[in-house]
Structure 1
Amino acid sequence: MRGNLSEIDIRSILQLIELGQRTGQLLVETSFHNSDKLTKDEAVRHRHTQNYKRQSWFAFFRNGQIIYCQEGESNLLRIDDYLRHYRVEMRLEEKQLASLGLQSAREYGYLWALLERNIINPKIAQNIIHHLVHETLFDLLSLHQGNFIFLQDAALAPQLTSLEIAPLVATITQQVQEWKQLYPHIQSPEQLPILADIVQLNSSLPTATVSKLQQWADGKTSLRQLARHLNRDILTVAKAIYPYVQQGWLQLVDSVANNSKTHKQSTGMQDKQRMRIVCIDDTTTIGETVESILKAQGYEAIALSNPLEALSLIFRLQPDLILCDIAMPELDGYEICAMLRQSTAFRFVPIIMLTGKDGFIDRVRANMVGATDYLTKPFGDTELLMLVEKYIKVQSYART
C-alpha cells in the first residue's frame, strides 16, 4: 500500500491498517521547497528550512495495533527528554550507543538497552512509548501533503506494549482541532517560550507560578521539550500558557528569531508587497475603496464583485488573505467561506467577513463556517488596516 496524502489522509490509512489487522511499518515522508504552498501548520514548522527540507516518520504495527512511532531522523533526544522527567541521570556510553547501529527503530533499541541495564523499569519504558507514539501521531495527523508506503514485514521485536488505533486517533484528532484554535498566538510545538513582561507576571500571578515560568521560559526549551519534561501532551502545555501569551506576558519565538529580528524589520515592506489580498463584495464602491486603501500601503489588492466568478478565480489567485462580504446575491459570504475551508489550499488562509450587522448570530455563523475574523461596515482606513495587518503579519512571518 502506497500513495499520496492528497488522495488519502493519515487517519484513513491508519483505519485500513487496523481493519486489515496488518503487521509491518508505515513510512510517511514530506519534502518541502521554499516555493511550496503549505498549510498554516506546515509553513510554521518549516519556515526556517534552506530551500529544501525532507522529513519522515515511522510507525510500527502488529496485528493492526501500534507498537511504536518515531521521527525518521532519530537522534535519541526525545527519549532523553522524558528521562529527565523521571530523574534518570544514567545514560548509555558511546560504545553502547554505537552498538544500536543504524536500524530503522534505533529509538526502540535505545529503550530496550536502558531496560536491559536496569536504568529504567518496564513501566517507565511503556509510558515513554505511549507519549512518543502520541506526539508522532499528533504531527502525522496535522499533515496535509506528502507520500506514504506501508510495508508488510515481521513485527518489531521484542514487544513491550501495543496501542489500539481507533481510540488513539480519535483523541489526537480532537487535540489537533483544539490546537488550531490557539493560532495565531501559538503556532508550532517547536516554538520557544520566553518571559516578555516579568512585572505583569509578578503582579498578576502567584510567586510559585512565576517561578515555574522563569524556570521553563528560558528561550532555549521548546514547547515540545517542555511537554516531555513535564510528561504531558503538547496541547495541555499549550493551553496552560495560552492566557499568558494572549496577555503578552510570554512570547513564543523560534530558535533563529532573535538573530533575524533586524532582518525582518528591514524587509517588512517587501513582505507587504508580496502579500496578495482579495476582496469579494458585490458593492463595487466598497471593493474599490478597499483596493485603494491597501494598495497605498504596498499590498497587492484585488476587488471581485461577482461572488460566483470570485469562487473560481480565487483558486488561481491564491491570495494570502481574503475579505468577504456576507450579504451577496446567488452566493453569500457564509457559503463562500465554507466552500473554501473544504479545500486544503484555503484551510488556513485568513478569511475576514465584511458585514453590515454587528449581531451575535452573525458572529456565531461566521465562526461556524471557519471565518477568521469579521469587520463591521462602514469601516475606516485605520480599522481595515489594523485587522489586515494583524493577520498579514502572521502570514508574512510564516513565509520567512
Structure 2
Amino acid sequence: MSTTPIGSYRLFQKLHPLSLLAQLTSRRTTGCLSVFTGTVSWSIYLEDGKLTYASYSDKLFERLDSHLRRLNQHFPSLDNATRVQMRLMFEAKNENQSIPYADYQAICWLVDQEYITPPQAAMLIDELAKEVLESFLSLKEGNYEFNPDNSLNELPKFCHLDLRLIVEYCQKRLRNRQNIQSSIPSVGGSQVLPGTVPKLPKSNFIPIEPRNNITAQLPVRKSLYTIACIDDSQTVLNSIKHFLDDSTFSVVMINDPVKALMQIMRSKPDLILLDVEMPSLDGYELCSLLRRHSAFKHTPIIMVTGRTGFIDKAKAKIVRSSGYLTKPFTQSDLLKMVFKHVG
C-alpha cells in the first residue's frame, strides 16, 4: 500500500474533526495527527489510513486503568498489583519526566509480560479509541499538526481499526446524548441526565501479530517477588500477606527478630519489610546488621512503623534503610512502596 504524503502543517482556526479524519483516511495516511486546545491534546496514530491507536492527554492513565478494570472478565490475570506497577513504571510524575506515548508503551508491556494477549490488547485499544474519538469529534476550535514520521516509533501494532466505523459509532452516541439532553427538562438551571450508556457495538479491530524484537526493549518484570516481612505482630504479618497477591509475591513471614537473619539468609528476598518496634531487637538494629552483610547491602529494606517523627526518620537514614512506610497503611500504599523498589 502506498502512502500519500500530506506534509506537516499547523493551523489556528475552527476545527472540523470529521472532515480532517476523512481526508487522512481517504489518502491512506501514515503518521500521527496531533490536536491541541491549549490545555489538552489528542494524538491519533494511523497506518495506511487505519487507526492503530488514539490517545487523549487528560487523565491518561486513569482512563487506561478504568478500561482495564471494565474489561476485567477478559483479563483475569491482570490484578490490582499489576495495574499499580504499570502506572509506577510508565506514568510520569511531572512534565519533565514524560515518556513518549506512555499509555501505549504500557499496553505493549502488558502484552510482553503476558498479562494480556495481542487480541485482548486490540480489544482494549478499540474501546479506548471510541472514547477518545468521541471527545475529539466534539471539538469546535484549536490547532493541529500532522507528523508523517511519528507512527508509534516502530512499537508493535496490535490492530488496524476502521476509522469510518468508529466515527459512525461515536456520532450515534453524540446524537443520542443530544436527544436525551433536549428531551429532559431543566431542573434548577441544569439538566439531569440518566446514567444509562448505549450498548457497545461489536469491535471492528483486525488483530495483527506484534513484533517480538521490539517488545524486548520494554522493562522486564520478574514472575514472582519474594518479600520478607519481619514483625512481632502476627496480625500485621497476616495483613501484609493478604495485601500482596499470591500470583505476584511470595511472602515470608517472620515474627521473631532474633531468628530473622537466618531466615532471611535462606529465603534471599527481593525486598524486606521491617517493623521498627520489636522486643529483643528493634528494626533499626536489625537493619544495621543486615547492611553489614554483603548479601544485603543493596536489598531494599523498608521500615514499617507508626512513628512519624523527624528523629525516627533520621535513624532510618542512618542505618541505610531504603524507605519508610507509616502505619496504618492501605494496600495501595504498600504496593506503591514495594513496586517503587522492586518494579
TM over 0.5: same fold? no
Q: TM-score range by the shorter chain?
A: 0.3 to 0.5
State the TM-score, normalized to the length of structure 2: 0.45
- Bigger share in helix: 1
State the TM-score, normalized to the length of structure 1: 0.39
Higher Cα radius of gyration: 2
